[in-house]
Structure 1
Amino acid sequence: MGNNRNHPLRVLHSEYEARLKSPEALKSPRLTTNSAQSTSNAENCAQRQQPDTRPIVTSPTMKTLANLAPRRSKCIYSDRFIPTRLGASMATGYDLLTAPPSKRAQTQAPCHVPTTTGKHRDAMCRLLQSEFLGMPLTQTSCHSEYLFHSSTKRSRTRNLFRFQVPGHGTSELPHHPLQRAKQLRIAAQPTAKERKIAKVPFKILDAPALQDDFYVNVVDWSAWNVLAVGLGAAVYLWSACTSKVTKLCDFSPFDTVASVTWTQRGSQLLAVGTNSGLVQIWDTVECKLVRTMLGHLERVGTLAWSSQLLATGSRDKTICLRDIRIPADLTSKLQGHSQELCGLKWSFDDQQLASGGNDNNLLIWNCHAPHPLARFTDHTAAVKALAWSPHTPGLIASGGGTADRCIRFWNTLQGTPLHAVDTGSQVCNLLWSKNSNEVVSTHGYSLNQVIVWKYPTMQKVATLTGHTYRVLYLSMSPDGQTIVTGAGDETLRFWNAFPTVPQTSSLLFPSGGHIR
């Protein structure tokens, strides 16, 4: 190799030595005048602008060395940020939106983001994310209470203001046939429709002599689909199955009906409270009186059955607990209100009794204690409307009169108030749906409305109008779908207010068709 004068490396060395020995390379820079310096600069610029005509060495050895050198992957860089969907990491961006908050983010002020409901909104949200963000189509919900908070760790080695276009897999493209097939499958899935409540009643019954009195309760619907109504001094039964009307009893001319209520289970017994303070138990099948009970000095305007006891509330400010299975029916008398009793309701487990009075107080009782467990005094008017939640133990709703106009929610297990809603008018009655987590309220002066609320947001599902007087009476059908309202306009109106019971099946409790 040393004797080969034509070797490529020797050619390179010889050319390099020739350049060093040239007269132009041996010249040293000298200080010149401004004109000379400008002339030299102009000549140098002209020389730099001329193309290089020197031959390029393309020896086999140099080509081999170039091929052996490692090559870096070609990336597209730019010195400015131009928003483009191809240059954005959509998966990482979505992770930043939906990631749970870090410790630093938790110290910041919370971000209130409006939420939407409904499976169809979730499906639409997923489709929009797939179309515009290029994200994989999944069945996850779009809701996130940690929206706009990020805990994703970012790379510290990435240079600032250098942006690179990442590669995309074929199946990740939003318009790829596989992605379009997923979108079509999601769009074809059945979605829950928004429930619509008819604004007009499907049935109206005349109820002559129906009292326009805030302190009486003379309408109740039994578990056997029979409606009991007190009209003046008489009690009438209306069968929802056959539309047959039966007169049960008549207290004229010396007394009038102040309250009626059905037993929850067992025999078809109806308790009737009168204006004189009597309480009677009637067998509605035989249409005969079972027994008459004393204990109150004034009218009995509210009644409530538990599985074993009957609670009666009177204008004499007392509550009597009665057991009709024993001869001496009066078991205890509760005193805690300073004015007339307006409402009584047992909890679904029969452990607590709620009482509302004209003294603006709501009291919670235990049938084994003579004193109330809790006393709530937030209302500023009479408390007649009471409703226990069938979905949450210890949750009760109460409504105030004209001066209060509020629906308030309470936790009776802890004895604490939860929240309140100003309805804008007198609250006469409350009922909790058995089929959904919704509450229906009836109102008096000045709107005379029937309102269905979604709990716990207390958004109005529907507002029903039609009564010309305050809606003082409210009851629910056995299937939980229909409600009946009564008012001083002497009409009973029937509304389809709540959905049907959702059909559920499990391995532990199979339906009858699966039992062999």
Structure 2
Amino acid sequence: MEEEDPSASNVITNSNSSSQRNLSPSMNTPVVSLESRINRLINANQSQSPSRSIYSDRFIPSRSGSNFALFDLSPSPSKDGKEDGAGSYATLLRAAMFGPETPEKRDITGFSSSRNIFRFKTETHRSLNSFSPFGVDDSPGVCHSPVKAPRKVPRSPYKVLDAPALQDDFYLNLVDWSAQNVLAVGLGNCVYLWNACSSKVTKLCDLGAEDSVCSVGWALRGTHLAVGTSTGKVQIWDASRCKRTRTMEGHRLRVGALAWGSSVLSSGSRDKSILQRDIRCQEDHVSKLTGHKSEVCGLKWSYDNRELASGGNDNRLFVWNQHSTQPVLKYSEHTAAVKAIAWSPHVHGLLASGGGTADRCIRFWNTTTNTHLSSIDTCSQVCNLAWSKNVNELVSTHGYSQNQIIVWKYPTMSKV
């Protein structure tokens, strides 16, 4: 038998002892659970600075550096527009969760040769536009409101209707539009209806050779039409059946102004009076309002049906409540006949009025506080006023001398 070399045994012993010394630190290292590593990575991503790089391993890649668009390798063709909305939502959600990103240039197939699908190191974000509404940079992204296109007001009518025998009289009200999109026009001794949806024209009534139409006014629902005549009568017509349902008297002269409330029809006449007619009662009128010194040419109920505004050829504007027989408010700032009257649907008690040729002004009143708010010179006779129900704007129609239609923004009164 051969004798063992002592030096060799020493080498083996030393190598074993050194390996034990090398392994002992790793064996003493505590085991880190997978959940702890995930939480550590999440916290690191949330608190990382722009210049700090986060490294991940093959099991838990860093999603913030991945190009998610490369996962859609073969998108199916869109059958409708629903996928577009889903794609936009996915883009916003991804940007909010993983930070802002900017679409990169790709080739025709949608791949980028310089990027991998998975990323194991976060990149330093550059100062680019963010798609996320929660982005921190100040540059505009998709969350900002789009630029509003300039508004275009047409300068020519889209429809022209023949109106023979239309009286050229400033003090008459011969045109009215219903809630059912039907236009009523008084032509001589007849009333015609034009349906804006079907363009159908219907002859509603013929008053005969001894009478003529001086005013027309639709009920709130647009089912019945009131017709004021030159003999001082007021007729109620069922528009769907083209049948007269009632004739009411009380005025001595022509009826040039009509205004419907909830259940009350007001009529203004050249005899300087206003008659309140409850169509549910058998009487021709329930009350008589006096105060004007000349023909009543403008009438309008407020939207809450509590106040009635009247304008006359005596250059006066009166406000009545639903129970009074005398005006509760009187305004005398106009210097011409007050025919154009309109209550604002946006502000309670806001009243607009327009004067004739010698006045040419649109004035605004607060009937709640009894104050004159403002006025503007339109340089032309004010024939009619109407508020928009959707926006705080006012349209005015004018006679001599400009003969124009103007849309105003309130309260700046700048032209649209």
Identity of aligned pairs, percent? Answer: 63
2:200 & 2:378 partners in 1: Cα distance?
37
2:197 & 2:128 partners in 1: Cα distance?
55
TM-score of the aligned structures, taking structure 1 as reference length: 0.54
Asked if 1:441 corresponds to 2:391, the answer is no
User: What residue identity is the alignment partner of 1:250?
Assistant: D
316, 338, 346: which one aligns with 1:391: 346
**Structure 2 contact 294–313 (Cα < 8 Å) conserved:** yes
Q: Can you list the C-alpha shifts for 1:363-416, whole angstroms capped at 9, x where unaligned?
A: 000120111110000000000000000000000100000110000000011111
**Structure 2 contact 249–284 (Cα < 8 Å) conserved:** no
1:437 & 1:343 partners in 2: Cα distance?
23
1:412 & 1:189 partners in 2: Cα distance?
38
Instruction: Tell me the secondary structure at the aligned position of residue 285 of structure 1.
Output: coil
The aligned runs of 1:57-96 (5 Å cut-off) are: none
Asked if 1:353 corresponds to 2:303, the answer is no
Instruction: Tell me the secondary structure at the aligned position of residue 185 of structure 1.
Output: coil
Q: CA deviation at 1:178?
A: 5.7
Report the counterpart of residue 202 of structure 2 in structure 1.
246
Asked if 1:177 corresponds to 2:133, the answer is no
Q: CA deviation at 1:183?
A: 1.0
Report the counterpart of residue 170 of structure 2 in structure 1.
214
Aligned residues: 285
Report the counterpart of residue 165 of structure 1 in structure 2.
none
2:265 & 2:145 partners in 1: Cα distance?
51
The aligned runs of 1:73-222 (5 Å cut-off) are: 177=127, 182-185=138-141, 189-222=145-178
281, 302, 309: which one aligns with 2:236: 281
173, 178, 181: which one aligns with 1:225: 181
The aligned runs of 1:452-463 (5 Å cut-off) are: 452-461=407-416
Report the counterpart of residue 16 of structure 2 in structure 1.
none
Q: Can you list the C-alpha shifts for 1:289-311, whole angstroms capped at 9, x where unaligned?
A: 11110000000000000011000
2:145 & 2:393 partners in 1: Cα distance?
27
Q: Can you list the C-alpha shifts for 1:39-83, whole angstroms capped at 9, x where unaligned?
A: xxxxxxxxxxxxxxxxxxxxxxxxxxxxxxxxxxxxxxxxxxxxx
Report the counterpart of residue 276 of structure 2 in structure 1.
321
2:157 & 2:210 partners in 1: Cα distance?
36
User: What residue identity is the alignment partner of 2:250?
Assistant: G
User: What residue identity is the alignment partner of 2:217?
Assistant: T
Report the counterpart of residue 123 of structure 1 in structure 2.
none
1:189 & 1:289 partners in 2: Cα distance?
54
Instruction: Tell me the secondary structure at the aligned position of residue 294 of structure 2.
Output: coil
Q: Can you list the C-alpha shifts for 1:99-157, whole angstroms capped at 9, x where unaligned?
A: xxxxxxxxxxxxxxxxxxxxxxxxxxxxxxxxxxxxxxxxxxxxxxxxxxxxxxxxxxx
Report the counterpart of residue 403 of structure 1 in structure 2.
358
Asked if 1:422 corresponds to 2:377, the answer is yes
Q: Give the structure, 1 or 2, with the largest relative contact order (CA under 8 Å, sep 6 or more).
A: 1
Q: CA deviation at 1:187?
A: 8.7
Q: CA deviation at 1:190?
A: 1.5
287, 306, 325: which one aligns with 2:261: 306
342, 356, 374: which one aligns with 2:297: 342
Report the counterpart of residue 331 of structure 2 in structure 1.
376
Q: Can you list the C-alpha shifts for 1:174-221, whole angstroms capped at 9, x where unaligned?
A: xx7168853141696423323211111111111111111001001111
Report the counterpart of residue 112 of structure 1 in structure 2.
none
Instruction: Tell me the secondary structure at the aligned position of residue 301 of structure 1.
Output: strand
1:289 & 1:370 partners in 2: Cα distance?
30
Report the counterpart of residue 227 of structure 2 in structure 1.
272
Report the counterpart of residue 330 of structure 1 in structure 2.
285
Q: CA deviation at 1:241?
A: 1.4
1:207 & 1:399 partners in 2: Cα distance?
25
Q: CA deviation at 1:284?
A: 1.1
When the two chains are superposed, the root-mean-square deviation of aligned CA atoms in Å is 1.5
1:184 & 1:319 partners in 2: Cα distance?
60
User: What residue identity is the alignment partner of 1:177?
Assistant: S
Structure 1: give runs of 5+ residues left out of the alignment: 1-175, 462-516
Asked if 1:263 corresponds to 2:255, the answer is no
1:405 & 1:185 partners in 2: Cα distance?
49
1:408 & 1:264 partners in 2: Cα distance?
26
Instruction: Tell me the secondary structure at the aligned position of residue 330 of structure 1.
Output: coil
Runs of at least 4 residues off by over 6 Å: none
Asked if 1:296 corresponds to 2:246, the answer is no
Q: CA deviation at 1:430?
A: 0.5
Q: Can you list the C-alpha shifts for 1:326-362, whole angstroms capped at 9, x where unaligned?
A: 1113110000100000100000000000000000000
Q: For structure 1, which segment, 280-289 or 394-403, has the greater mean C-alpha deviation from structure 2 after superposition?
A: 280-289
**Structure 2 contact 129–141 (Cα < 8 Å) conserved:** no
User: What residue identity is the alignment partner of 1:438?
Assistant: E
**Structure 2 contact 250–284 (Cα < 8 Å) conserved:** no
